[in-house]
């Protein structure tokens, strides 16, 4: 099972996600070809009701703690309730470039 598949499986189960997108963005960073170190994740879950953005992200980090300890370096997160998903959709679901990638580009 790939890291992407593990992330998808863990989040779907732990958060009872009604919509889930996990994209490998590693190719956008200075990592070896085929790496699974950077991901963009969109999760829609009723479990986010009443939680602010920081607490939603903490839940995801808790679910993915093993992955974060074993090579997962970057997560771009979009966390929505079902009501927010209905009104906002995937707006704001964009990849983020790591600062060290920007620095490497500036010096090359």
The partner residues of 24 in beta bridges, in order of sequence, read 39
Band (54; pLDDT cuts 50, 70, 90): very high
The pLDDT tens digits for 76-107 are: 899 999 999 988 877 666 555 555 554 444 33
Average pLDDT over residues 37-43: 86
What is the CATH architecture assignment of 3-107?
A: 2-Layer Sandwich (3.30)
Q: Phi and psi of 81, rounded to 5°?
A: -80, 165
Report whether 54 contacts 87 (CB < 8 A): no
- Structure-block tokens of residue 98: 């790591």
């Amino acid at each position: 099972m790939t890291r992407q598949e593990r992330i998808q499986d863990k989040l779907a189960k732990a958060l009872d996600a009604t919509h889930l997108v996990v994209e490998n963005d590693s190719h956008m960073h200075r990592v070896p070809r085929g790496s699974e170190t950077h991901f963009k994740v969109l999760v829609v879950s009723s479990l986010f009701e009443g939680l602010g953005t920081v607490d939603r992200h903490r839940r995801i980090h808790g679910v993915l703690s093993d992955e974060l300890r074993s090579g997962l370096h970057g997560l771009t997160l979009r966390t929505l309730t079902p009501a927010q998903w209905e009104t906002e959709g995937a707006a704001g679901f964009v990849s983020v470039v790591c600062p060290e990638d920007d620095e490497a580009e500036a010096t090359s």
